[in-house]
């Protein structure tokens, strides 16, 4: 029989809260993390706001001497991983550390360090560039640093597939655990690209909302008047383990990670295929992989970026997968609150889905005001819905046409 995989720990660093308690409270309140950018001059930018992590104190999670050797995406992910491991109750003195792996996703990596060291190079020459430049910017340094900290010697690598990165990492972890390669995998995603170069790049693409006068209402997935996504940053990390391992150590189980499907549009470097064929395939594949029927799915955490094409295409794909039942399934986008965490998005969205499943509520899509005829599903507008979730899917659709869907089920013995 195929091994069952469960979620036993959660850690988050987000624009609406750090740690599970603060994050849960913000989800229930429908809080927006968007605000004007204060730490660099944005006066020349078309978009002057983002969803930035606030009140993050890295020294609470990381040795002081190591902080300066970590890009911010690594700091965020490292902190989230520490919280997840602590939340899981793993007794590392009793664990075989060779049976614990780490697989994380990020879309961009250490863009903040690239930008800083480029300025050093131009101003002071190549000999003054930090010897830690390369280790800080590479995407695999997050799982590497976590492994070094704990001594975990199991499978360890990073996944980079734009906005689908974290879901691909989680899906890979699911497969390795099922295959018996290891007992525990720490997985999810992290991102921090809200720096002058990152903001300029997305502004030039015309991908971002320009609601500079009211940032908190800017991320409005599925709303007719949406005008682009809001850049976010942070990390969402979970502890995954085989059910057998979790039961043997008496772990508290949040939920079961049941299925995974992946595909690619093979259509365009940024725009989704308007027919959504590959997104449909990823959802279908994940549901089949989970061994559940479509009638069992009672919540969808949408990719829901608040861009015109994504929201329309994702809605179309959901209707193609579920038929008339699509109109009866609550669909929400937590990006309306957190902004779009790019490669870290799916990790935070898995955390939100699992927390909602455990506590009996569906996170809302805030800022939803004007219905769009092309987006005509139940988007759980503006406030949470108290409702039990027994089976959910979470979608990620990335630049390059990358699609990844995971299925989460309420744990039943």
Catalytic residue numbers? 163, 303, 340
Which residues make beta-bridge pairs with 331? 300
Is 243 in contact with 88 (CB distance < 8 Å)?
A: no
Cα dist. 342→57, 107, 328, 380 in Å? 22, 6, 29, 23
Question: Is residue 26 classed as helix, strand or coil in its secondary structure?
Answer: helix
Is 394 in contact with 350 (CB distance < 8 Å)?
A: yes
Structure tokens at 307: 């861009």
Nearest to 262 by CA among 409, 396, 352, 107: 396
Separation of alpha carbons 379 and 367, rounded Å? 11
Nearest to 372 by CA among 309, 286, 328: 309
Q: Which residue has the tokens 């089976």?
A: 391
* Residue 324 CB contacts under 8 Å (≥ 6 apart), including other chains: none
Separation of alpha carbons 296 and 227, rounded Å? 34
Question: Is residue 204 classed as helix, strand or coil in its secondary structure?
Answer: helix
Q: Which residue has the tokens 């990381």?
A: 62
Separation of alpha carbons 316 and 331, rounded Å? 13
Nearest to 242 by CA among 264, 261, 223, 257: 257
| DSSP 8-state symbol, 18 | E
Separation of alpha carbons 394 and 356, rounded Å? 13
Nearest to 368 by CA among 235, 220, 269, 255: 220
Question: Is residue 185 classed as helix, strand or coil in its secondary structure?
Answer: strand
* Helix, strand, coil percentages for the chain (3-state, nearest 5): 40, 20, 40
């Amino acid at each position: 029989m195929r091994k069952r995989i469960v979620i036993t720990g959660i850690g988050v660093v987000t624009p609406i809260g750090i740690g599970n308690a603060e994050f849960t409270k913000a989800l229930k309140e429908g809080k927006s993390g968007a605000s004007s950018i204060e730490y660099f001059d944005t006066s020349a930018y078309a978009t002057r706001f983002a969803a930035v992590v606030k009140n993050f104190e890295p020294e609470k999670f990381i040795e002081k001497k190591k902080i300066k050797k970590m890009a911010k995406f690594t700091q965020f992910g490292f902190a989230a991983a520490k919280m997840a491991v602590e939340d899981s109750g793993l007794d590392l003195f009793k664990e075989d550390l060779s049976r614990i792996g780490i697989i994380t996703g990020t879309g961009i990596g250490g863009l903040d360090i690239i930008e800083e060291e480029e300025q050093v190079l131009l101003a002071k020459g190549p000999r003054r560039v930090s010897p830690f430049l390369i280790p800080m910017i590479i995407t695999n340094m997050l799982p590497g640093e976590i492994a070094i900290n704990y001594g975990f010697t199991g499978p360890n690598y990073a996944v980079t597939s734009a906005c689908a990165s974290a879901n691909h990492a989680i899906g890979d972890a699911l497969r390795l655990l099922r295959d018996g390669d290891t007992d525990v995998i720490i997985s999810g995603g992290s991102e921090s690209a809200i720096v002058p170069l990152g903001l300029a790049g997305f502004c030039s693409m015309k991908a971002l909302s320009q609601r500079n006068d009211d940032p908190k209402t800017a991320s409005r997935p599925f709303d007719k008047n949406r005008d682009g996504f809001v850049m976010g940053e942070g990390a969402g990390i979970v502890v995954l383990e085989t059910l057998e391992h979790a039961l043997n150590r008496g772990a508290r189980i949040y939920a079961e990670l049941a299925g995974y499907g992946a595909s690619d549009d093979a259509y365009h470097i940024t725009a989704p295929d308007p027919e959504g064929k590959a997104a449909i395939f990823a959802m279908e594949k994940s549901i089949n992989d989970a061994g559940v029927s479509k009638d069992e799915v009672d919540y969808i955490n949408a990719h829901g970026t608040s861009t015109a094409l994504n929201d329309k295409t994702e809605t179309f794909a959901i209707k193609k997968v579920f038929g008339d039942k699509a109109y009866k399934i609550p669909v929400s986008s937590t990006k309306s609150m957190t902004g779009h965490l790019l490669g870290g998005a799916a990790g935070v969205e898995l955390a939100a889905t699992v927390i909602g499943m455990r506590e009996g509520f569906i996170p809302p899509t805030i800022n939803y005001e004007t219905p769009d005829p092309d987006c005509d599903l139940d988007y759980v507008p503006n406030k949470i819905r108290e409702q039990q979730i027994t089976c959910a899917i979470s979608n990620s659709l990335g630049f390059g046409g990358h699609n990844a869907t995971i299925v989460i089920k309420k744990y039943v013995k």
